[in-house]
Amino acid sequence: GGYGGSVVCNANNTTVVELLVYRCNLTGPFPDAVCGFPGLQTFSAYDNALSGSLPRCLCGLTALTTLAVSANHLTGGIPGCIGRLNRTLTVLELGTN
């Protein structure tokens, strides 16, 4: 497959709703900056080399439907507050970390 490197905004171009950075050779700690997009619905960063743990700030992304971060180098537990996203979060991919 290919790679993803795109940002998708809502119809008014006022809110980032998709951040697709899979297979982009990203390295380093999981970027807390992702949490700066309160309307984010999809964050797809699988098959990179992101490290560290998932930040608790992800729990504030109440529109998040997809969090795909499998095939990285993530460690640690899943923040318990992720469970509070059960009304929106329908895809949670964490395997192979």
pLDDT value at residue 1: 61
Kindly report the pTM of this predicted structure. 0.92
Q: What is the pLDDT of residues 74-86, one digit of tens each?
A: 999 999 999 999 8
pLDDT value at residue 53: 96
Res. 64: pLDDT tops 70: yes
Mean pLDDT of the chain: 94
CB 97 within 8 A of CB 72: yes
The CA distance from 57 to 94, in Å, is: 17
